[in-house]
Amino acid sequence: MGILIYAESENGKFKKCALELASYGRAIANQLGVELIAASFNHSEYQTLGTYGVERVIQISDPKLEKFTAERYAANLASVVKENGVKLVLLSSSANAKYLAPLLAVSISAGYASNVVGLPESMDPLSIKRSCFTNKAFNTCVLDNELNIISLSNNSFGLKEEPKEIISETKSDVSSETNFVLEKVERASGQITIADAEIVVSGGRGLKGPENWHLIEDLASTLGAATACSKPVSDMGWRPHSEHVGQTGKPVASNLYIAIGVSGAIQHLAGINSSKVKLVINIDPEAPFFKAADYGVVGDAFEVVPELIEKLKAFKNS
């Protein structure tokens, strides 16, 4: 029996969620005494995966696989599963992995547990803890299939180095589907994604307009953070929709979430519940966000944020 991770990459680098999956997979492989395999698409810098415990990487290469399409990727992963006697597949909770998981589960007749937040409590049957109701509760899911898929909640396990000698194999595309990628929106290079960020700085309607977003951007670049926003902010076109977090936007599972001029509506909180530490800056001491915050600053963002940036820069230079 082997364990397979789907190692996602972007711009020639493995994403943080791929390294977290490798760390998680290594912990399970150690318990079971089995091989940890990774599958990656059109990627050659496989050694990084070895640092986090992967022993063998199968690189599937084809120009048609350059852009993610769920059907093609699922067909190729299914083929890797069948050829390598894999009994457990580990996926991240990225948007792409969420599209992929059900397709893969159907094609390999596997059980599927999403939003997993811990190591399996038992393997036969697979019993595992999941978060539910937008991270307000947990449940234990039991899957008695022979083959299972686990989607790990991003940032719930962390990165743990355990270097292994890694070998690489190549494999060609086995998919036959015709897929159409309508549009792929490229991000500016070097920008940190919300999914991979340790720190996220988010702005709401309290920022008054897009002309003031330099406050969010300056604070984010000082901290090496990603930028995010509330739904109305992206609806009004102040920021791109890719930055909208919440129930109808992206989930955030960062170590630190800084919300500036965001009221803390339930739909916003639904997306950021898995963030570890929440810092809120709001002029209104009654803003609901303070109830969910670990640290709160009651004050005007236009005064507090520039001062915070100045102090952080001075601290970094000291």
Ligand X SMILES: Cc1cc2nc3c(=O)[nH]c(=O)nc-3n(C[C@H](O)[C@H](O)[C@H](O)COP(=O)(O)OP(=O)(O)OC[C@H]3O[C@@H](n4cnc5c(N)ncnc54)[C@H](O)[C@@H]3O)c2cc1C
**How many angstroms separate the most distant Cα atoms in the chain?**
60
Binding interface with ligand X (CB under 6 A): 204-206, 230-233, 246-249, 261-263, 265, 267-268, 271, 281-284, 287, 300-302
Q: In angstroms, what is the minimal distance from the CB of 46 to ligand X?
A: 36
How many residues belong to the chain? 318
> Strands, DSSP E only, in 25-161?
35-41, 56-61, 86-91, 111-116, 122-123, 126-132, 137-143, 148-152
Name the token pair of 133. Answer: 């109701």
- Give 59 or 290: the residue with its C-beta nearer to ligand X: 290
Q: Which is nearer to ligand X, 135 or 282 (CB)?
A: 282
DSSP 121-164: SEETTEEEEEEETTTTEEEEEEE--SSEEEEEPTTSS-------
Of 64 and 311, nearer to ligand X (C-beta) is 311
Q: How far is the CB of 235 from ligand X (least distance, A)?
A: 9
Which residue, 154 or 230, is less far from ligand X as judged by CB? Answer: 230
Question: Nearer Cβ to ligand X, position 147 or 216?
Answer: 216
Of 246, 258, 247, the closest CA to residue 294 belongs to 258
- Pick between residue 191 and residue 248 the one whose CB is nearest to ligand X: 248
Q: In angstroms, give the least distance from the CB of 302 to ligand X.
A: 6
ω before 125 within 30° of 0 (cis)? yes
Instruction: Name the token pair of 145.
Output: 């299939």
Tokens of 233: 């902010």
Cβ neighbours for 225, distance < 8 A, ≥ 6 positions apart: 192, 197, 198, 199, 200, 201, 219, 254, 256, 258
For the bound state, the minimum distance from the C-beta of residue 184 to ligand X, rounded and expressed in Å, comes to 23
Q: How far is the CB of 215 from ligand X (least distance, A)?
A: 10
Name the minimum Å distance from CB 285 to ligand X.
9
